[in-house]
């Protein structure tokens, strides 16, 4: 027999969105089983009642048994043994379509009664336990709301003790209700198998015992078949008994824990200040009007450099805030305890969150500060977090006001340049979206490292808290090719991955490559990226190591067939490069395409605009008048050599941009 899907009782206490999402799948499966059971029972009752139309009734029953294979159960289709057994039963019912009214009593005892008992006992129990679980969850949420509103300044120990007891009682009640509900849903996966097989077993036995037509060959075949079905149901029942005993043991073990497990702010474990990942429930303050606010309890977790939020029942979480270079600090808010504030680098976006306990409160602040410093991008994030532990300790000291960053802090300009377009051909969308298999061959390998590793925290003894200007190339660093270029622009980027694609004529292939690269990084827990410099000239694209100034890879601009920025995450961009494949012996070589995906410190649209401008210059060089008109409309340097673009890095064309000040928030 195949393995049976089960809900883990150990996860009942945490009640995470992932567990709730899996629970909804089991509930959907139970609903589908209820609908199918009702349909099957109606067919059986028609066989019992419609004696004058017995042939027609059994024919419909035969068809209904075959429908089990087509049922769309949320946990997957029925196993092959049950399906094949029901198919054999359907065939038998089709052959015995000339039944008589004398079978009514036997059919009522052996076929109708077990199915009614299954529906009234097992399925009704699931519905009742679901209502009890919902009531317990609501009572726990109400108790947590009261506990979260417990004042800090005028703390009443009696009131606090009552609220703590109420939270512990409601949480224990919810824990017990959830485990009973989980056990019933797990047992249903076994009982539904028996419920599907046992009625048909009794029905067929009644048919054979009644007729006794003396067809020894047929009788022997049916006896063997029914014996195998009986053995199957006994094996399933034995598995159910074993699983039920194991669930009872687990339930007793989990309920034997100390009461402090159910009490908030009673965790004796020390605070871990070196975390770079964190997950748990937090209260978030939302504005409901000009002066009114409301607090919602949601599940938050960190992923890379982002703060994510996942509502209950959702399959996946969504990004709430980019934590890179953000500030995290403790604040006083509406006389609530354990509140802290996260503010974006430009100070325009902020949110206030409340932790459940002091330990969670301090760990969240330390973790978010570690992520804000981009420790997760280093070779040894744990060691870096230990060295910066003192800063994390200072962050958990409450303050009553928030001051915006100085003008020297990075403040990316999110406004897109006017008239920015990816390319003349890239703006056109196909009428119908292609399938992923048409864009990228399934199973195509992904390359995650193309450059030498470079870490922002390799030199911890630097002074002044400043780092080397990533755009400070000198005239000596420029190749002869770049000296003759009319366009030279440098962007700080992080290489995410590259892979072979089937075509380079559609932006959809770039979006699909982005999706597969990000998904592969998430699946394999590859969060580290290395910063490099992407130099765009009017003739080529060059990826340069910022420390050694070594060109890691370069492409001619004519080889870039498509480029685009992500439609939702503006910091993601990619381009497709055309090459030649001479493996088949063709003199000209077959065209091959590769997609490269980057994450930029600036908006990806600016990089796409610069690449588009470089292609325009290449086309304009073919016509001197067009080139002169293009240069007339664009500002140049004093030497008339390089084109100046408005970007966040300042005058990067001449390498004159000031050093960026590293954020210490």
pLDDT tens track for 402-457: 333 333 333 333 333 333 333 333 334 444 567 777 888 888 888 887 744 333 33
Specify the residue for token string 């504005």. Answer: 287
pLDDT of residue 595: 93
> The tokens of 330 are what?
């403790």
Closest CA to 7 of 133, 108, 91, 111: 133
Per-residue three-class SS string for 471-531: CCCCHHHCCHHHHCCCCEEEEEEEEEEEEEECCCCCHHHHHHHHHHHHHHHHHCCCCCCCE
pLDDT tens track for 41-99: 888 888 787 655 777 777 888 888 888 888 888 877 667 888 888 888 888 777 766 65
pLDDT tens track for 140-198: 999 989 888 888 777 788 888 888 898 899 989 989 999 998 899 898 888 888 888 88
Least confidently predicted of 165-169, 601-605, 645-649: 645-649
Higher-confidence residue of 586 and 224: namely 224
The residues with which 466 forms a beta bridge, in sequence order, are 661
First to last CA, the chain: 57
Rounded Cα distance between 290 and 199, Å, is 64
Q: Is 385 exposed, middle or buried (0-12, 13-18, 19+ CB in 10 A)?
A: buried
- Find out whether 243 and 6 touch, Cβ atoms under 8 Å: yes
Rounded Cα distance between 506 and 575, Å, is 10
pLDDT band at 238 (very low <50, low <70, confident <90, very high): very high
- In 124-156, which ranges are continuous DSSP H helix? 124-148
- Find out whether 564 and 512 touch, Cβ atoms under 8 Å: no
- Find out whether 352 and 293 touch, Cβ atoms under 8 Å: no
Specify the residue for token string 């070594």. Answer: 550
CA distance to 75, 137, 140, 264, 330, per residue, from 183 (Å): 16, 17, 21, 26, 42
pLDDT of residue 94: 77
pLDDT band at 564 (very low <50, low <70, confident <90, very high): very high
> The tokens of 302 are what?
């960190």
Phi-psi category of residue 655: left, alpha or beta, with phi > 0 → left and psi -120 to 50 → alpha: left
């Amino acid at each position: 027999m195949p393995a049976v899907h089960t809900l883990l009782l150990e996860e009942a206490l945490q009640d995470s969105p992932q567990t709730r999402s899996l629970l909804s799948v089991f509930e959907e499966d139970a609903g589908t089983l209820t609908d199918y059971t009702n349909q099957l029972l109606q067919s059986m009752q028609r066989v019992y009642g419609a004696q004058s139309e017995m042939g027609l009734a059994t024919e419909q029953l035969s068809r209904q048994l075959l429908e089990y294979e087509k049922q769309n159960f949320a946990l997957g289709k029925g196993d092959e043994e049950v399906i094949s057994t029901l198919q054999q039963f359907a065939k038998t019912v089709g052959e015995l379509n000339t039944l008589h009214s004398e079978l009514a009593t036997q059919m009522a005892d052996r076929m109708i009664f077990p199915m009614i008992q299954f529906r009234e006992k097992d399925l009704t129990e699931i519905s009742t336990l679901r209502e009890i679980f919902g009531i317990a969850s609501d009572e726990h949420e109400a108790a947590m709301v009261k506990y979260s509103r417990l004042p800090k300044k005028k703390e009443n120990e009696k009131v606090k003790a009552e609220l703590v007891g109420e939270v512990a009682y409601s949480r224990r009640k919810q824990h017990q209700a959830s485990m009973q509900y989980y056990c019933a849903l797990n047992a249903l996966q076994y009982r539904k198998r028996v419920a599907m097989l046992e009625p048909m077993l009794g029905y067929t036995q009644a048919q054979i015992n009644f007729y006794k037509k003396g067809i020894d060959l047929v009788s022997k075949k049916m006896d063997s078949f029914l014996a195998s079905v009986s053995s199957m149901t006994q094996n399933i029942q034995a598995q159910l008994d074993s699983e039920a005993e194991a669930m009872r043991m687990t339930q007793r073990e989990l309920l034997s824990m100390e009461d402090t497990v159910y009490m908030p702010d009673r965790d004796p474990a020390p605070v871990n200040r070196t975390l770079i990942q964190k997950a748990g429930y937090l209260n978030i303050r939302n504005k409901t009007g000009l002066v009114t606010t409301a607090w919602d309890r949601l599940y938050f977790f960190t992923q890379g450099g982002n703060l994510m939020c996942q509502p209950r029942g959702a399959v996946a979480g969504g990004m709430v805030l980019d934590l890179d270079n953000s500030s995290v600090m403790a604040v006083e808010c509406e006389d609530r305890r354990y509140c802290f504030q996260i503010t974006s680098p430009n100070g325009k976006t902020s949110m206030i969150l409340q932790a459940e306990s002091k330990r969670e409160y301090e760990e969240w602040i330390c973790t978010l500060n570690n992520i804000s410093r981009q420790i997760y991008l280093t070779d040894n994030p744990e060691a870096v977090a230990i060295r910066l532990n003192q800063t994390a300790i200072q962050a958990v000291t409450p303050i009553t006001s928030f001051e915006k960053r100085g003008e020297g802090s990075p403040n990316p300009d999110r406004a897109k340049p006017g008239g920015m377009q990816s390319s003349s051909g890239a703006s056109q969308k196909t009428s119908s979206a292609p399938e992923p298999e048409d864009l990228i061959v399934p199973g195509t390998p992904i390359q995650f490292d193309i450059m030498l590793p470079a870490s922002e925290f390799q030199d911890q003894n630097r002074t002044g808290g400043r780092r080397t200007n990533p755009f400070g190339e000198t005239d000596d660093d420029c190749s002869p090719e770049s000296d003759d270029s009319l366009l030279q622009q440098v962007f700080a980027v992080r290489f995410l991955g590259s892979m072979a694609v089937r075509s380079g004529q559609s932006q959809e292939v770039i979006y699909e490559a982005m999706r597969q690269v990000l998904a592969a990084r998430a699946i394999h827990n590859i969060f580290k990226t290395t910063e490099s410099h992407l130099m765009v000239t009017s003739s080529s694209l060059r990826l340069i190591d910022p420390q050694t100034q070594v060109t890691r890879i370069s492409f001619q601009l004519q080889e870039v067939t498509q480029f685009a920025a992500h439609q939702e995450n503006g910091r993601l961009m990619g381009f497709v490069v055309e090459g030649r494949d001479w493996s088949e012996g063709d003199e000209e070589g077959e065209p091959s395409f590769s997609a490269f995906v980057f994450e930029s410190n600036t908006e990806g649209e600016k990089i796409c605009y610069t690449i588009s401008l470089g292609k325009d210059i290449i086309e304009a060089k073919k016509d001197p008048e067009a080139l002169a008109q293009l240069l007339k409309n664009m500002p140049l340097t004093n030497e008339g050599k390089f084109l100046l673009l408005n970007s966040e890095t300042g005058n990067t064309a001449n390498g004159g941009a000031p050093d960026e000040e590293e954020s210490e928030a």
